Structure 1
């Protein structure tokens, strides 16, 4: 068999298969691009996009009401400032696509470093792109749900390099530490990376002297982690009460009260969470990854030439397994539960698939590669109803939602006579930004601070710049806004529309009657440019 594989015809056939595989990946990535760029605007993006557009280093919590760790608004805000683009949603969606590409390149780098073969990289990429959960809002919107994935994958890659069997590489371990902090700084749910990476540097490889493991691996990782977290530590030191009021206490206190009285459908009990987890992890690409994780070891254990052979798993496999398990546990912590909370284990399961393929590279490779390719093909087939329309959308940029929303809002703004930089009151601030309006800080976080503001304890009120549903009329009457923007999709926006109609605002619509609307009233230039009262 080996001799046949080396014949020119066999080599040519293998090259053709690789070309076909590469073509498929290019097409499915194009389908992904089209889907991301044409995905509808979601309420979560109003928080991340708007705060990013208005962010400086220290105003995220003191002024804008941001409630996550700060690396996403700092990153996206820097992109806005460097590019000078006013296509806020489009630029944010392009950042998400860049994160997808970086994640795929990370999987490729791990596969090459482990000499695991092209088939497992192709399968892992297909299983990533074909994951139905990631093709929904978690992987298509400008939020912090997907962006930590490439940071986590590359952190694992640099740890593999830093803990090389030949000799430890402190610089690579330090880079891994930086990337762990970046992943956590994008989304706090990934905090479990830090202790598990640290434990790995202390415990592995066992044949290395403990002093080397502590000094050249663990210490280097810790230094990198501190450097990566330093901006957050500086921000916390400058105002700890403000920081924790907007992050920790927001989710553990105000958000919990809001959902306890909300009539929206929600998943709260353990039984409901288990059913949601089953729908996410026990179907589609996630289930196929789990199948691969069982099949690859079984192939090695069942080798005909070594029926009694045992499977030797190195520390990277155990680390990937521990990370996957912790990702699963973390997914059940928040209440209520949403599908995006079940993303964390996905990258580590894919890494585990690559790592398990590596030791079987010389053992029945044709069977293993065939299984892997089949898993990838099935994943792509299951996601075809999402990727195929995305491929059609990709070649029609004029129809991308990320562009048409901008054009529609600019058109309304021109017809209404809105000047660039005027204030626009809204709970859908991305629409106001796209219209060329300036968003008051009370609404920079969209509805996420506004809807919990009535539940703020007295001690935390000084740390918030906001109004609330019960104080909205007073807020608007104190300084009537020149423009009110609504999406028409949220019941919470109804008081804004009622206020506009009662006070004689003129309504402007776009091409879709059920789409966004802009309400405008004629007032003096001084009033237009006045900031609403807090």
Structure 2
């Protein structure tokens, strides 16, 4: 056999890696169906409409948006890429792309780090079968899931490059870009940056400080700066406006609103006790309990191995410290937002998976033999526990009309046709569910373009802060609508919040269309149309 023939032979384990990737592909196909069939969520009113409204309307300035902007631009780019047809489909397709990127990243990085089929399979199944991620945080068109693949790549590439004998400049640039992008999608993902930024000055320990500055610190900083350019643009353009939406909203009126309305959400986690209980339910049950088991199991194996007299000293202590610090920070940041919701508790999953990879590298041959049976059993349990969540997604392949974006599009078309028939298609539609008129190509009020989130906090917002928001509250609706009357109201999903809109419609002679409804998981929506109009 010649040298060229040998170079074409598959490397050991590559066939297994392809098999794992193929299996992950099947699970991803099922997840795609689940995402597309998942019932619409109120949070999507904030994230989805901007995909169509941008760039004709500016984020923060022309409409309210309470998060860093990268996910909004991602949804918009995908919306344009798929031809500008269905805005909800574009947002959820973007989220699915995040699942694909995360699955590929986990397989490649964990394989490079461990060369263990059991660890790689467990890690990717832990993501694709995770009951927390298979619920709202990973299904809806929002910014909750999208930081995960970029945070994993940023941290994972840093670890694998500093563990390698040679650090590749462009790979570390990519690591820095990914970390900035994660923080630009969701502000809480910034916690991944400090441990890596500090660790870059010390890792890898085997090279001189000067070489480390050039080969590790410089590319990371360069990548971080590149990834943060859009954030710097928004911050520099109008810092007060940007911070009012991204920071002050979450620390002021948002908290006050929920304190005043905690009865609307039984079990709402406002204090430390409630947050701790929620964290316990999410981290120590189901799939994440098996992740905790694996982390404790691997730590135990390392501990008993190091108690042996002849156990070699680890050369990867720095990387372990980086991952442990990142894990501690992600655990801490989960408790910071008030009130707490399940989506705030997803970040630790990323660093814990990478911790498994670092710990596995400490094992000697005897310890590695113990890993496949334990992780194999855990992998099987994850798949069995995920079956009830996998099953509903298959229905969307049988009948595409059952996808949520198809339902939204059909309802939007129904609204458009009715308003066109009544000669009202040129006016604005007032609603706390703007995805329907936006999808239909109808006009919406900028104050309601992202749903209820600005409207409901107006009574709890300091007047100076309120000047930074494009918003109108319940007390100002009469004057607001009198100056610019809507052609129609779409109501029926939030009776308490919608009451002032309904009162205005009834007092001003708007007529309810009784022969059509717009149903979703929040209720039966109905139209009130402006008179004179012929509804028949």
Mapped contact 1:99–1:147 kept (Cα < 8 A): yes
CA drift at 1:53: 2.0
Q: How does 1:64-143 map to 2 (within 5 A)?
A: 64-143=63-142
From 474, 483, 492, the equivalent of 1:478 is: 483
Tell me, yes or no, if the aligned pair for 2:360 and 2:368 is still in contact at 8 Å.
Answer: no
1:187-206 equivalences in 2 (<5 Å): 187-206=186-205
What is the CA RMSD across the aligned residues, in angstroms?
2.8
Is residue 68–residue 186 contact of structure 2 (8 Å, CA) maintained in 1? yes
Q: Of 406, 429, 442, which residue of structure 2 is paired with 1:437?
A: 442
Given candidates 468, 473, 494, the residue that maps to 1:463 is: 468
Residue 421 and residue 341 in structure 1: after superposition, are their counterparts in 2 closer, same or farther (change >3 A)?
Answer: farther
Do the aligned residues in 1 keep the contact of 2:34 with 2:394 (CA within 8 Å)?
yes
Contact 1:42 1:141 (8 Å CA) reproduced: yes
1:269 to 255, 268, 271: 271
Q: Is the 8 A contact 1:450 1:467 kept in 2?
A: yes
Residue of structure 2 equivalent to 1:509: 516
Work out whether 1:451 is the aligned partner of 2:456: yes
Q: Which runs of 5+ in 1 are unaligned?
A: 1-10, 525-534
In the alignment, is the contact (CA less than 8 A) between 1:486 and 1:493 conserved in 2? yes
Structure 2 counterpart of 1:46: 45
Q: In structure 1, what is the Cα distance between the partners aligned to 2:23 and 2:492?
A: 38
- Provide, for residues 420-451 of structure 1, a one-character-per-residue CA deviation record: whole Å limited to 9, x for no partner: 67521111111222233222211112111111
- Does the CA contact (< 8 Å) of 1:482 and 1:523 recur in 2? no
Whether the 8 Å CA contact 1:127–1:289 is kept in 2: the answer is yes
* 8 Å Cα contact 2:305-2:363 kept in structure 1: no
Choose from 345, 351, 355 the match for 1:342.
345
Any gaps of 5 or more consecutive residues in structure 2?
1-9
Q: Does the alignment pair 1:521 with 2:530?
A: yes
Question: Could you report, residue by residue, the CA deviation over 1:387-442 in whole angstroms, capped at 9, with x for unpaired residues?
Answer: 12223334432211221121122123213426767521111111222233222211
Instruction: Output one character per residue of 1:15-48: Cα deviation in whole Å (capped at 9) or x when no partner.
Output: 9988886665344323322221111111110001
- Closer, same or farther: CA 422–57 of 1 in aligned 2, 3 Å: closer
Contact map agreement 1:93 1:140 (CA 8 A) in 2: yes
Asked whether the equivalents of residues 116 and 358 of structure 1 are also in contact (C-alpha less than 8 Å), the reply is: no
Question: CA 1:485 to 1:500, structure 2 compared with 1: closer, same or farther past 3 Å?
Answer: same
Kept in 2, the 8 Å contact 1:301–1:311? The answer is: no
Instruction: Name the residue aligned to 1:330.
Output: 333
Q: 1:483 to 1:131 in 2, by over 3 A?
A: same
Answer with 291-300 or 171-180: which moved more.
291-300
Q: SS in structure 1 opposite 2:490?
A: strand
Partner of 2:7: none
The residue number in structure 2 matching 1:356 is 359
Residues 238-258 of structure 1: per-residue CA shift (max 9 Å, x gap): 111111122221112221222
Instruction: Please name the residue that 1:381 is paired with.
Output: 384
The CA distance in 1 between the partners of 2:211 and 2:425, in whole Å, is 60
Moved more, 266-275 or 28-37: 28-37
Which of 269, 285, 288 is equivalent to 1:286? 288
Shift of 1:110: 0.6
Q: How far 1:98 moved relative to its partner?
A: 0.7
Superimposed CA distance per residue, residues 182-208 of structure 1 (whole angstroms, 9 cap, x where no aligned partner)? 000000001111211111111212222
What is the aligned length? 512
Greater shift, 340-349 or 15-24, is seen at: 15-24
Q: Partners of 1:363 and 1:150 in 2: how far apart? A: 33
Once the two structures are overlaid, the 10-residue window that deviates more, 125-134 or 486-495, is 486-495
Alpha-carbon distance change, 391 to 424 in structure 1, aligned in 2, over 3 angstroms: same
SS of the aligned residue for 1:114 comes to helix
Tell me the residue number matched to 1:400. 403
Quick one: structure 1 residues 379 and 490, their matched pair in 2 at CA, closer, same or farther if it must change by over 3 Å?
farther
CA shift in 2, pair 1:65/1:431, >3 Å:
same
The two structures have a TM-score, normalised by structure 2, of 0.88
Q: CA deviation at 1:168?
A: 2.8
